[in-house]
Copies of this chain bind each other. A is one copy, B any other.
Amino acid sequence: MQEIKNVLILGAGTLGSRIGLQAAISNYSVTVYDIHESALEQSLNVMHKVLKYAVKMGMIKEEDKPTVLTRIKFTTNPHDAVKVADIISESVTENPTVKEKVWKQFGELAPAKTIFTTNTSYLLPSQFAAISGRPEKFCAFHFHDVFTARVVDIMPHPGTHPDLIPLLFDFGKKLNQVPVLVKKESPGYIFNFMLMALIGAAGRLKTKEIGSIEDIDKSWMVNFNMPMGPFGILDNIGLDTAWHVTKDREDHASKDFAALLKMYVDQGKLGEKSGEGFYRYPNPAYKDVDFLTK
């Protein structure tokens, strides 16, 4: 089995930074690439924040923080970035044109050994496999949030070489993730496909005026002993993101739900990140001690 030592992260956003940091914690040499210098600076901030959390949770020791950080390099130079890469984890903007451009560029620059993985949320690896120039080494390898929701989806496209699966499975475990195999291409992989079904049902209960947002969330929270319900989860995901995923669906229920989301988005209510969505932050009603009993 091909050995992985050097990991290249393409795109220094939140998720890319978290993947890079976990790889460094797991003893890999990591290079984080972005076209913007400012994104790389922001990436280091994200890593410092996550490291604090990792220390607090006992994932690493305080005194190991500097060593972890010495394993990470930042660059805006694509040639430098890719020259020793054993594997690329791409987390650039969720836009097919941007991803195509990046994969064309790095497909040409990367050494023959380099394995290509995309962390896309809703696009499919087959959309970028050909343009990368090495479809057999191309696979989706999709993280959730790396440190708390520790699932990584391994989703090959029809042209992915079968040997890549056990290699990525092993790599995922070394990154402290629970690897799951998505045997056929599926937008949203496994978890997001189920989450979207749940959220769609919650949206339908609301748009058909069967239940209030609070009662729908209470039902879920109490029955599954969870800290939030579907609308709290939506606020967490971002209503703009949820709208993007829903807006092009053809069925009536999705159209109604997209219209509801759009109403919030148009008012600037994007969820937790904007301070208001279905609930108000930083103290949403569902976190009140008497939310369930009042």
Task: Report A's interface with B, CB cutoff 8 A.
Answer: 144, 149-151, 153, 173, 178, 180-184, 186, 189-191, 193-198, 200-202, 204-205, 208-212, 215-216, 218-220, 222-224, 226, 230, 292-293
Instruction: Assess A219 versus B183: contact at CB under 8 Å? Given A197-B200, A198-B198, A210-B190.
Output: no
Alpha-carbon gap, A4 to B184, bound state (A): 57
9 nearest A-B pairs in the assembled complex, by CB-CB distance: A197-B201, A180-B215, A191-B219, A190-B219, A194-B201, A149-B223, A197-B197, A186-B210, A151-B222
Instruction: Assess A292 versus B178: contact at CB under 8 Å? Given A220-B194, A226-B224.
Output: yes
* 18 sampled A-B residue pairs with Cβ under 8 A: A144-B222, A151-B218, A151-B219, A151-B222, A151-B223, A178-B218, A183-B211, A184-B209, A186-B210, A190-B215, A190-B216, A193-B201, A194-B220, A194-B230, A196-B201, A197-B197, A224-B226, A226-B226
Q: B191 touching A223 by the CB < 8 A rule?
A: yes
Alpha-carbon gap, A216 to B223, bound state (A): 20
In the complex, the count of this chain's copies comes to 2
B residues near A149, Cβ cutoff 8 Å: 222-223
Q: A185: nearest residue on chain B (CB-CB)?
A: B210
Q: Pick the most buried of A144, A150, A184, A223: most chain B CB atoms within 10 A of its CB.
A: A223
Alpha-carbon gap, A197 to B254, bound state (A): 13
Q: Pick the most buried of A173, A180, A219: most chain B CB atoms within 10 A of its CB.
A: A219
Alpha-carbon gap, A153 to B200, bound state (A): 20
Alpha-carbon gap, A220 to B210, bound state (A): 26
Q: Which of B178, B184, B196, B224 contacts A293 (CB 8 A)?
A: B178
B residues near A144, Cβ cutoff 8 Å: 222-223
Additional A-B contact list (14), CB under 8 Å, known A151-B219, A178-B222, A181-B211: A144-B223, A149-B223, A153-B219, A173-B293, A178-B218, A180-B218, A182-B210, A183-B212, A184-B208, A186-B210, A189-B219, A190-B211, A194-B205, A197-B197
Alpha-carbon gap, A222 to B218, bound state (A): 22
